[in-house]
Structure 1
C-alpha cells in the first residue's frame, strides 16, 4: 500500500471517478425508489419470507456470476467503458417493469434481469476507478464512489415517499424509477476512460480463469470474505424486522434513507481512513460493528430502537466497503484487476442464495433473534480470521 498523503497535499479526485460517482448516485436513486417497498409489495402478492430470501438471493447470485465473467472480459478487452454502459442500460430499462408484476415470480424474473445489468458493469467499473485513482488514494476514490452510491439511496426513498404522499400508487413509484435511471445512463456515457497505457499488462500475466495472476494472498482474503458473506443476508430482512418492531410501512422508505445518510458519512470517512490505517484491521472492526448491530436488532423491542440501530449499522458499511475494494487493488496485478474485482464480487454474490435461504428458514422456524444471532456469530469469527490473516502477512505478500 502506498504511503498516504497528508490532508493538505491531497489533490482533487480524478474526473472519471467523479463522473462514475454521479452515475452511481442516479442509479441508486432509481433502485432505492423500489427496494425499500419490495418486502411490503411482495406481501401483497402472497410471498413468504423464504420467497423474499430466494428473490434477493437469486438476483445477487446472478449478478455475481456475471461479475466474474465481465471482469475476465474487461481484462482482455481494449476498453472497459462499453461493458459499463451496457450494464447500466440493462438495469435502467428492466427495473421499472416491477410495476407490472402480478405474482412473486414476476418480481423474481425482473430482479434477476436488473442484476444482470449490475453483473455486467461492476467489475470493469471498479477496475476503471482503480486505474484512475492517484497512488496511495484508492481508499479515497472508492470511498467517494460508495458515498455517492449511498447518497442516491438516501434520495431514492425520499422521492418514493413524496410520490406516495402526492397520491401515486406503489406501482406508479416503480414506473417513475425510469427517470433517474436514464439520467444515470447519460452520466456514464460522458465518462472518459483512462488511456490503455494507464492499465499495463505485464509479461506473463495474461489472465485466465484459474491462472497464476491471482495471488495466493488474494485467494486467502476472498476465502475469509466468503465466510462472512454466508452470514450477511439481504438488508430486506432488516426492514422486515423494523416492521415487526412497529415502524409503519409508510415510514420504511424514510428509515432506509436514514440508514444511507449514515452510510454516506461513514463511507466518506472510511475511505480516507483506508489510506491511513491498516485496511484488514479496518474491515475486521467493521465486521464487529456488524455483529453487534445484528444482535441488537434481534433483541430490540421498540420501534425507536430500530432507528438507532440502523444508524449504527451504516458505520459497518463505511468501515468495510472502501477498504475491501482498496485491498483488492493492493492484492491484484494491474493486468488482472478486472478479474480480481470480478472474483471479489462473485464471492459476495454467490453466497447470497444460501445466506438468504438460511436466514429466511431460521427466521420462520425459530424467530428473528436466532436468524440475526447466527449472522452476528459468523461475522465475529470472520473478523478474527481476518486479523490472523493480516498477522501472517497476507497483505504484505501481495
Structure 2
C-alpha cells in the first residue's frame, strides 16, 4: 500500500501540472497561434500515439530488467521537460514538441508504474488499488483545473504564466518517486527467455484487445470536446469549468467503480462505460444549449471512471504473471495505434461536415464496442 500511495501522490502532482495546461491548449492553439481543428487533432493524435506506442516496449523492458522504478522516474522527468517547451511556444510547432515530450514520458512510465501497482496489491484487491490510484490522479487533475481557472482569471488569459507555474508540481512529482521501495524480486520473472506469444494468450484477453483497438478508431482526443464547447459559445474560463466538472465526477466515481468491479466483475463495468461513452458522444453531436454541454461533461466523467482503471485491472487478472507489464503496455499501444487516425479523422470530419460529424462517428463506435464486449468476452 505504501508504494500505491506514493505513486498516487506522484500522479496527483503530475496531473495538477498537466491539467493546468491541457484544457487550455485547444483555445491557445486556435486563438493565439492560429491553428485549425485539424492541426489540433494532428498534434494530439501524434502525441498520444507516441505515448501509447512506447508503452509496450517500456512494459516489456521493465519485465525483462525486473525494474519498474527507473522507468517511472525517467517518464515523469520527460513530462516536466514538455512543460518547459510549452512555455517557450512561439508557434504550434513548439506545442507539438512539448506535447510529444510530455507523452513520450507518459509512454515510458505508464506500463511499469501500473505493473508496480498490480504487484503491490493483492489479487482480490487490484480493482480497488487501481481505483484509488485513479482517484488520486483525478484529484490532481481537479486541482490543476482550479488553479488554471484562478491564474487565467487573475492574469487576463496569460497562458505563458500558467505554463511556467505548472512546472512546480511537475518537479515535486518526480521527487516523490525516489521514496518508492522496489524489492529486488518484485518483478516475478523467471530465468527463461521473455517472449510474447499472441496465440498462447488467454482468449478473453485477445478478444478484449481487438475490440478496444476497433473502438479507438472512433475515440478522438478530448481536445475535440473542449473545441465543441468553444464552438457553442463557451469562453476559456467556462471551458475550464466544464473540464473541472468532468474531473470532479471522474474523481468521485473512480474508486467506487474499481471497488464495484472487484464485486460484480470487470466486464459489466466496462460495458456500461462504453455505452455511456456512445450516448454522450451522440449528445455532443446534437447539443444546442449550454445546459446540455454541462450535463454531457459530467456524464463523460462517469465513462472514464467506469473504464480506465477497470480495464487495467482486467488485464492484470488474466495476463501471465511474468508479462503483466508487457500486456498493460500492449493494451495502451493498441489504443495508441488508433489514436492518430482517430484524431486526424475527427479533425477532417469537423472541417468537411461540421462540428457534429466526429461525435456521431464516435457515438456509433462506442455503442458497437459495448455490444462487442458484452457478446464476445
**TM-score bracket for the superposition, by shorter chain length:** over 0.9
1:212 Cα offset (Å): 6.0
- By percentage of residues, which structure has more helix? 2
Equivalent residue number for residue 251 of structure 1:
238
Whether 1:46 aligns to 2:34 is yes
Alpha-carbon separation, structure 2, partners of 1:40 and 1:198: 44
Alignment of 1:235 with 2:222, yes or no, is yes
Give distance in 1, aligned partners of 2:200 and 2:254: 30
CA drift of 1:367 comes to 1.6
* Change in CA separation of 1:177 and 1:45 when aligned onto 2, cut-off 3 Å: same
Looking at structure 2, the residues matched to 80 and 202 of structure 1 have their Cα atoms a distance apart, in angstroms, of 16
Give SS of 2:302's match: helix
Residue 114 (structure 2) aligned to one of 101, 105, 126: 126
Aligned partner (choices 235, 245, 258) of residue 271 of structure 1:
258
Aligned length: 375
Instruction: Find 1:56's aligned residue among 44, 47, 51.
Output: 44
Alpha-carbon distance between aligned partners in 2 of 1:314 and 1:291, rounded to the nearest angstrom: 13
1:109 aligned onto 2:66: no
Q: What's the counterpart of residue 10 of structure 1?
A: none
Once residues 82 and 23 of structure 2 are traced to their aligned partners in structure 1, the CA distance between those partners, rounded to angstroms, is 17
1:28, 1:156 within 8 Å by CA — same for their partners in 2? yes
The alignment's C-alpha RMSD in Å is 1.5
Shift of 1:297: 1.4
The 5 Å alignment of 1:137-152 reads: 137-152=125-140
- Counting only pairs closer than 5 Å after superposition, residues 300-379 of structure 1 correspond to structure 2 as 300-379=287-366
SS in 2 for 1:368: coil
Provide, for residues 237-258 of structure 1, a one-character-per-residue CA deviation record: whole Å limited to 9, x for no partner.
0011111222222221121111
> What residue is the counterpart of 2:167 in the other structure?
178
Decide whether the 8 Å contact of 2:219 with 2:362 is kept in 1. yes
Does residue 1:82 correspond to 2:70, yes or no?
yes
Give the superposition deviation at 1:210: 4.5
TM (norm. structure 1) is: 0.91
Structure 2 gap ranges (5+)? none
User: Out of 140, 143, 146, which is 1:155 matched to?
Assistant: 143
Conservation of the 8 A alpha-carbon contact between 2:53 and 2:334: no
Q: Tell me if structure 2 keeps the 8 A contact 1:42–1:104.
A: yes
TM-superposed CA distance for 1:209, in Å, is 4.8
The answer for unaligned runs of 5 or more in structure 1 is 1-13, 391-398
Equivalent in 10, 18, 23 of residue 10 of structure 2: 23
State the alpha-carbon separation in 2 of the partners of residues 73 and 284 from structure 1: 32
Q: Distance in 2 between matches of 1:203 and 1:176?
A: 46
Report the Cα distance in structure 2 between the residues aligned to 1:82 and 1:388, rounded to whole angstroms: 40
- Aligned match of 1:100: 88
- TM-score, reference length from structure 2: 0.96
Give the Cα–Cα distance (whole angstroms) in 2 for the partners of residues 109 and 213 of structure 1. 39
